[in-house]
Amino acid sequence: MLTGITVAITASRRATELASLITKFKGIPYLAPTVGIHAKQDIIDIKNFINKIVDENIDYAVFMTGPGVFSLMSTAKKLEMEKRLIEILKKTTVVARSMKPQSALAKFGIKTHLIPHENTVKGISDLLKSHTIAEKKIAIIWHGSYSTILRDDLYLAGARDIFEIYPYVYSLDLNYGGSKILDDMGFNYVSPNEAKVVKLMDDIINNGLVDAITFTSPPSVRDLFKVASKHKLKERLQLSLNKQVIIVSIGPSTSNALNENGIPVDVMPKVYRMGAMIKSLCDYLHQSDLLKKNSFNYKIHTNIRESIKS
């Protein structure tokens, strides 16, 4: 259980769902989403990308995220190309970075053939290179953070052509297109707000009101530290997080982003899902004899955290 434990939530699109999980385990959710998405307004690039998938006889299609699936399909529908795109993808070896894009693809009747063991760029690269990609054509539908590493690795492994698109970018807010994507996906999301993020940092650094903080994506980490840098709070935030707050990551990519910002991870589930993440946090807390008590108050929170993290 999380009785009396305040758990900060940096996610946006599944913030209310995560808050419900924390409440179910008797914790206190603290909502301060750090990341939103901006859908691309100019659809020309996406149209050209869809044309390549339809016309180029691609061998693999890689989908990084669920929102990427919905964004691509939404644009294809506007262009009256959705039916043809789905037909082609049903004949293509489809790779999903995780179960999230797999689930989104299934809603369009598209089967996922491959999912990497590790849902990182390296994991996808290793997966594809374990198959025959020499002289193959590969389409990649990115999330909001583009990297050339995957493309370079696949070309070195002999891929013939690689077509890439990122239908949205990560941001500190949501534009109309980004909201539409999340609405279409059925998420009861919470829009990010910089003032709330600054208040979160103040409550971590100065008030000691946050016992644990959850991160469910690399952008949620990076945008927190962007705001921290903007307000000249980065070093103090790093110190407070490392000394006083339990750091909870949903998976390897998110943990890497935390490590890049000088924050070691305390809790990461073996199964990279929110329910497993919260259960792992409960298990972690129960490792401390201090947390076997039935109730807590803010006066002893700091001692509890320091005991756990020592």
User: What b/e sequence results for 175-193 when a residue is b if at least 16 CB atoms lie within 10 Å of its CB, and e otherwise?
Assistant: bebbbebbeebebebbebb
Q: What is the pLDDT of residues 243-295, one digit of tens each?
A: 999 999 999 889 999 999 999 999 999 988 899 999 999 999 987 645 454 44
Q: Where are the domains of the chain?
A: 6-35+192-309, 38-171
pLDDT above 60 for 302: no
CATH 3.40.50.10090 fits 38-171, yes or no: yes
| pLDDT of 186 | 60
| pLDDT of 253 | 87
Side-by-side strand order, sheet with 246-249: 28-31, 6-9, 212-215, 246-249
**Residue among 234, 218, 176 nearest 41 (CA):** 176
Task: Check residue 292 and report its DSSP letter.
Answer: G
Q: What is the pLDDT of residues 37-52, one digit of tens each?
A: 666 656 888 899 999 9
| pLDDT of 87 | 95
Which region among 42-46, 124-128, 175-179, 222-226 has the lowest average model confidence (pLDDT)? 175-179
Q: What is the pLDDT of residues 100-115, one digit of tens each?
A: 899 999 999 999 999 9
List, in sequence order, every residue forming a beta bridge with 28; answer none if it has no partner: 6
Give yes or no for a contact between 255 and 265, defined as CB atoms under 8 angstroms apart: yes
Which region among 139-143, 191-195, 231-235 has the lowest average model confidence (pLDDT)? 191-195
pLDDT above 50 for 176: no
| pLDDT of 174 | 45
| pLDDT of 295 | 44
For the residues 52-61, what does the mean pLDDT come to? 92
In angstroms, the CA 274 to CA 284 distance is: 15
The token pair at 181 is 């994507």
Give yes or no for a contact between 228 and 291, defined as CB atoms under 8 angstroms apart: no
Q: Is 97 exposed, middle or buried (0-12, 13-18, 19+ CB in 10 A)?
A: buried
Residue with tokens 């959705």: 82
**Residue among 307, 210, 215, 197 nearest 267 (CA):** 215
H/E stretch holding 47: helix 44-55
H/E stretch holding 15: helix 15-24
CATH number at 6-35+192-309:
3.40.50.10090
| pLDDT of 112 | 97
| pLDDT of 13 | 75
Average predicted confidence (pLDDT) for the chain = 85
In angstroms, the CA 240 to CA 177 distance is: 36
Percentage of the residues of the chain whose pLDDT score is greater than 90: 59
Q: Is 160 exposed, middle or buried (0-12, 13-18, 19+ CB in 10 A)?
A: middle
Check if 6-35+192-309 and 38-171 are the same fold.
yes
List, in sequence order, every residue forming a beta bridge with 18; answer none if it has no partner: none
Residue with tokens 């149209």: 47
**Residue among 258, 262, 271 nearest 213 (CA):** 258
